[in-house]
Structure 1
């Protein structure tokens, strides 16, 4: 009877649309995306660990029209070599917002559409960016450590933090996340300016085409842009110098948006006022020089991590897959421009 059930299960799976899964994630797929497992026939090279990945892909190449790309841990690079192994591939559903691990130029050339998490994470990440800014300016984490260490009765009041209201905040990347950050900080009485690939006609905030100029006219910079060849190390020595000794950097984008070595140097030498960092260049490795700095708040790439956002991401992932196999418009396609 048990064998019959197993055969029935495999037969049912074989009748479902085929989806290739690549990438890595700390949770097993049935736990992480249960509806995907229920509704699609999942192919994964990690189920055949003795078979080289390229051999696995070539073996199944003709039946693979959709690739489900997981993020978490060490993400696999969906590069030209991988794509060449999959001549029937038509769609990549990326379970996450960032697509810097996918060769979009090659996808565009091959006519492969790509989706991502769209705006699913926007509210949670925007909340987190504001929380980091508040923490750095008001020294919340540092004050917490001060109290817990027993120093308050001995050394008296902790040093003053800085007011958030009235601060000039420069947002780099005024997409869905950046726009939500702006909305929240306006409620605090902050003035907003921004940098992006091009000026947004629907936005009244001051626009700076040059990040250094934006930094020179900001008390804080918040990085909300995608990581691309153009934005790699967009925060460099010149930008940090323009930001100045009281300036603060908040990064909820990708670690490589900042020249991390230069940021560490500026923080250690007191050339900028502080930083709130949820992402780093070589995660999970973090520069040890930052550990003892009270004006630096660090978290382990946690901005998107809420049960609510993961549930919404799961639903969007399933909806994109169902839309593809039903020849309907995808819900969150990535713009190649």
Structure 2
């Protein structure tokens, strides 16, 4: 008896862990085509890879526009992006073609929160600088004030964007003895009570916080939010952490604030571009610690399960069974998270949480 023919092609735009490949390979309906590299897929290879694909698994660095959709053709039914945000996709074009979009608003929450806290601690306590001093012989003897950093105990922490990730960060920081937790955003959050969060105007948060964590989504309102006036209001001893999107920060203004001593230090999980060129001015500063963004293996597995509809009650499997959105009369694309929640969105709306 012959094996059933594979009927769906899924193109994946980046090398994925073996666990993820096992998930896709186990879906008998899927023929998996992979750009087998840790580097971003070149544009011409992306256009070639999506041809006749039924599903596309992409990353934030992949621009999914009309050209890509045209190259894919009418077979394309679902796009799954390994990201919390989806501003790299032309949702208006996607909606016109009745394609479902999946993103991952929650599977990266723990990983991002843990990395943000680690980055904050390392930056505040000057750990990268200390490691370099040990390596290059700069540590000669004990000095009482050498490499003194800043502690969380008794401090005021300000979080810009107390969504899923912002709240997860706050939960992890409070046991360090944080005295006040300030946050700002579009509106006060009921869940802020869990961490005794105080909803305050942005200017208040910036001027009163010892640590500022940026965890908002990227939107026209937040692009370039952290600029020269922003940094000028910060304490000279304050530490700035960005784990949202690079475009939220004016990096030239950040460099000026750091190099002049206007603020104490910065830790960056995200930059523009990614990665920063090795000759970028920020990389010359001892008080600036960029780190590469990283995905949790659990997140990768969940994303890939959804892409092939192999998860129980997967919204993408429902899409293949006829729950199409071609006949929707509004001008929005149907966006589905990995928790099964459906969201209609247009180009100006963004999901909450990290970009």
| Structure-2-length-normalised TM-score | 0.74
Does the aligned pair in 2 maintain the 1:323–1:330 contact within 8 Å? no
Distance change >3 Å, CA 113–CA 197, structure 1 → 2: farther
Determine whether 1:168 maps to 2:156: yes
**Residue 289 in 1 paired to residue 281 in 2?**
yes
Q: Report whether the alignment pairs 1:201 with 2:193.
A: no
Between structures 1 and 2, the one with greater helix share? 1
Contact 1:245–1:273 at 8 Å: present in 2 too?
yes
Are residues 1:119 and 2:110 paired? no
Alignment of 1:11-160 (within 5 A): 12=4, 14-16=5-7, 18-21=8-11, 24-25=13-14, 27=15, 32-39=20-27, 40-42=29-31, 60=52, 66-71=54-59, 75-83=61-69, 86=73, 89-107=76-94, 112-154=99-141, 156-157=143-144, 158-160=146-148
Aligned CA distance change for structure 1 residues 237 and 94 (closer, same or farther; 3 Å): same
Give 2:331's aligned residue: none
- 1:186 maps to 174
Relative to structure 1, is the Cα distance of residues 89 and 228 closer, same or farther in structure 2, using a 3 angstrom cutoff? farther
For 2:16 and 2:302, how far apart are their aligned partners in 1? 18
The alpha carbon displacement at 1:149 in A equals 2.7
Give the drift of 1:111. 5.2
Higher RCO, Cα 8 Å, sep 6+: 2
Over the residues paired in the alignment, what is the CA RMSD in angstroms?
3.4
Q: Structure 2: any 5+ residue segments left out of the alignment?
A: 37-41, 324-335, 350-355
After the TM superposition, which of the residue ranges 230-239 and 30-39 deviates more from structure 2? Answer: 30-39
Q: TM-score, normalised by structure 1?
A: 0.78
Q: Which of the numbers 215, 218, 224 marks the counterpart of 2:206?
A: 215
Residue 276 (str. 1) matches residue 267 (str. 2) = yes
Task: List gaps (5 residues or longer) in structure 1.
Answer: none
Q: Is this contact kept in 2: 1:177–1:224, CA < 8 A?
A: yes
The answer to whether 1:233 aligns with 2:224 is yes
1:56 CA drift (Å): 7.7
